[in-house]
Chain A
């Protein structure tokens, strides 16, 4: 049973376009929602993260939108670049469990030049 469901599994976007990845969760104890970026042959690296006390967080071209009532959060990549081509994972963790992360299934993003 996957506690964090991520969609789509893959995404192709033109350079300059917007990439949108969605995640939904069930566990209301989750209180930390990071997104990780992974390039081939590398481990995942933290991209951006949000707590449920805010509805949006922006860092450069990357924005997390968070909807607590719907138990959903999403990653928007604005002005997508070929260098953004990677696999993206959403994750969630409950503070009470010591920040043990539960990951979504991943989205492979390809940005075409």
Chain B
């Protein structure tokens, strides 16, 4: 089974802190994605990556950055956390551009106080 693992289930951070959310997949997938999930809004794409050291902005990239130094690892960075970034964050991967089935991690619920 494909496994997408997010480093934390729950995080509480203070306003202004730099926050790192880590995601690792174990199936050699090319593509990785970061979404945030908010009630009524579904999942919204923050950033994605098609290859190592490659990144592209999604629909809501403001206030976020990402890093992909290794194929299996994709990190989401909140440069200066704000209360409106309190949300559920979901990492996903899919095998390639030709194979669209996405596999999700269990999510990280981030609270910024």
Residues of A with Cβ closer than 8 Å to B? 2, 4, 6, 9, 32, 34, 36, 41-46, 49, 89, 91, 93, 95, 98-106
User: Closest A-chain residue to B109, C-beta based?
Assistant: A41
State whether A106 touches B42 (Cβ < 8 A): yes
A/B pair count, beta carbons within 8 Å:
68
- B106 at interface (Cβ–Cβ under 8 A)? yes
Minimum Cβ distance to chain A for residue B20 (Å): 19
Contacts of B101 in A (CB 8 A): 34, 46, 49
A32, A49, A104, A105 pick with most chain B CB within 10 angstroms: A105
- B44 at interface (Cβ–Cβ under 8 A)? yes
State whether A103 touches B44 (Cβ < 8 A): yes
Minimum Cβ distance to chain A for residue B77 (Å): 20
Contacts A98-B50, A99-B31: A44 and B104 contacting too (C-beta < 8 A)? yes
Residues of B with Cβ closer than 8 Å to A? 4, 31, 33, 35, 39-45, 48, 50, 58-59, 90, 92, 94, 97, 99-107
Known contacts A41-B107, A49-B101, A99-B97; can you find 14 more A-B pairs with CB under 8 A? Answer: A9-B40, A32-B100, A34-B100, A34-B102, A43-B92, A46-B103, A89-B43, A98-B31, A98-B50, A99-B99, A101-B100, A101-B102, A105-B41, A106-B40
State whether A99 touches B100 (Cβ < 8 A): yes
